[in-house]
Structures are given as C-alpha cells and as structure tokens.
Amino acid sequence: MGLRTDLQTLLETLLGSRNVYFQPPPSIEMKYPCIIYELTDMDTMFANNVPYKIEKRYSMTVIDKDPDSLIPDKIAALPKCIFDRHFVTDNLNHNIFIIYF
C-alpha cells in the first residue's frame, strides 16, 4: 500500500497529534493518548516463483486513559485493519490492531 512514513502520517492525522511512535525505545517518555506500532511480518505473493507483491503487517497499540476513546474506532475503520485484543495496564487502556500497509 505505502511506505512506513505514509502510515506514520496517517496515524498522526487520525490521532490529531504527533504522539505516534514506531518501535520506541524503553527510555522514551510517551504522552497519552498515543499509538505505538511495529513491523511484525511481511506477506509475499508470488507468480511463477517470483515475488510480485509484498504487504507489510504492523501491530498497532492505541494507548489512552479514556476507556471510551474514539481513537480505536477511527483505527478500526482503516482498510485492511483488524482488531486483535484489549487490555488495561497501569490504568491505561490498550487496544491492539493488526494492519496490512
């Protein structure tokens, strides 16, 4: 679909801030709400044993103090995006999504 930087821009637009982190180091102090994402896999389609299309799969975590946040709904509406799970840690709501981009 696009470059990782395109995904970064899209997520920043949906979130309405620059609190979008790609594979953040543990030392970074995050501001909430935020989105953390990382590359988890690449799906390759072949024709005559030659790759002709490669889609990267990213895991995205929306972290927000608000349990009724609308951000997960915006992320869920993206093409090729699937909700994976939800959990709460340190009074922060985590919504995990998988997206092919």
Taking 50 as the pLDDT cut, the residues of the chain under it are none
Among 3.20.20.70, 3.30.2000.10, 3.40.50.10490, 3.40.50.2000, what is the CATH number of 4-100? 3.30.2000.10
pTM of the model: 0.89
Question: Which residues are 63's β-sheet partners?
Answer: 34, 94
Nearest to 32 by CA among 82, 71, 76: 71
Q: In this predicted structure, what is the pLDDT of residue 2?
A: 75
- For 57, the token pair is 């799969």
Q: What is the pLDDT of residues 30-58, one digit of tens each?
A: 999 999 999 999 999 999 999 989 999 99
Helix (H) or strand (E) holding 83: strand 81-89
Q: In this predicted structure, what is the pLDDT of residue 21?
A: 98
Q: In this predicted structure, what is the pLDDT of residue 79?
A: 96
